[in-house]
Amino acid sequence: MPRKPFIAGNWKMNKTICEGIALANELKGLVEGINDVDIAVCPTFVALSKIGDAIKGSNIMLGAQDTFWKESGAWTRQIAPGMLLDAGAKWVIIGHSETRGRFGTVDAELEGVLNYFGEKDITVNMKAKAAFAVGLNTIIACGELLSEREAGKTDEVIVAQMKTDLAGFSNEQAMKMVIAYEPVWAIGTGKVCDAEEADRVCGVIRKVIKEMYGAEIAEAVRIQYGGSVKPDNAAELLGKPNIDGALVGGAALKASDFVGIIKGAR
Ligand code: 13P
């Protein structure tokens, strides 16, 4: 069965509640009737429930940008998967390079001292299991740094991330995961990964899934590409056999651009 394309907008730390509602309302009108592409928006935690209200009854799904692996308790600042579900989310992004602290913008002085959010492959895995346990679907992100790519280590890095990130899911859970391949150097830089190369790495990811969960699941799981996806490069990327969607940052903040990408998936 062909995989249904899935375009998700990661709004990151952008949009007030008011601005988010306006964007969601505009999007709703523009994507009405599109049922051959899955569509999601992932606003900030504080805007989740209001954006959820705005898109209720539409073909846009709600996603969150991170979660924690505990159900509840004394975990100041953390947000449990059940709370995301309660706010209306169906999806959660886990292991984005910006939560892994892999984006290399720490002040040089603080490099090595600051480790942003302490995300590791093992915490990505724990978060995914906790999300599945309450019935959320996951978008699990991976990607190599520019230095890793230049050292010829892309595949090694991706395979290592995937093996830990995806370990120990049930087959039913594995079916519900979506993987986002986001080369860190392509995020927010305007430097899109060459479509052939993005497809090749997505193929490497599919091979790891096959080794871990078998051919049927590997064929069913959707793999998104993320990193400077725009309306003018979307169709080429999304036309590749191993690329089943996009995780969109900057271009998801403007309805017309996001819709342009969704159309590129059709
Ligand atoms: P950009 O589309 O802004 O490059 O961001 C990609 C991304 O990180 C989506 O999660």
Tell me the average pLDDT across 48-61: 98
- Which of these is catalytic: 26, 32, 182, 197? 182
What's the confidence (pLDDT) of residue 118? 74
CA of 223 to the centre of ligand 1 (A): 15
Q: Is 211 a catalytic residue?
A: no
Tell me, using a 6 A CB cutoff, whether residue 249 lines ligand 1. yes
pLDDT over 80 (residue 109): no
pLDDT bracket for residue 105 (50, 70, 90): low
Would you say 205 and 142 are in contact if contact means Cβ atoms under 8 Å apart? Answer: yes
Would you say 47 and 13 are in contact if contact means Cβ atoms under 8 Å apart? Answer: no
Q: Which domains does the chain have, with CATH numbers?
A: 6-264 (3.20.20.70)
3 burial via Cβ count (<10 Å: 0-12, 13-18, 19+): middle
* pLDDT over 70, % of the chain: 94
pLDDT bracket for residue 106 (50, 70, 90): low
pLDDT over 90 (residue 1): no
Tell me, using a 6 A CB cutoff, whether residue 63 lines ligand 1. no
Ligand 1 atom, smallest distance to 250 CA: 3
What's the confidence (pLDDT) of residue 117? 75
pLDDT bracket for residue 104 (50, 70, 90): low
Average pLDDT over the chain reads 95
List residues bridging with 178 in a β-sheet. Answer: 139, 222
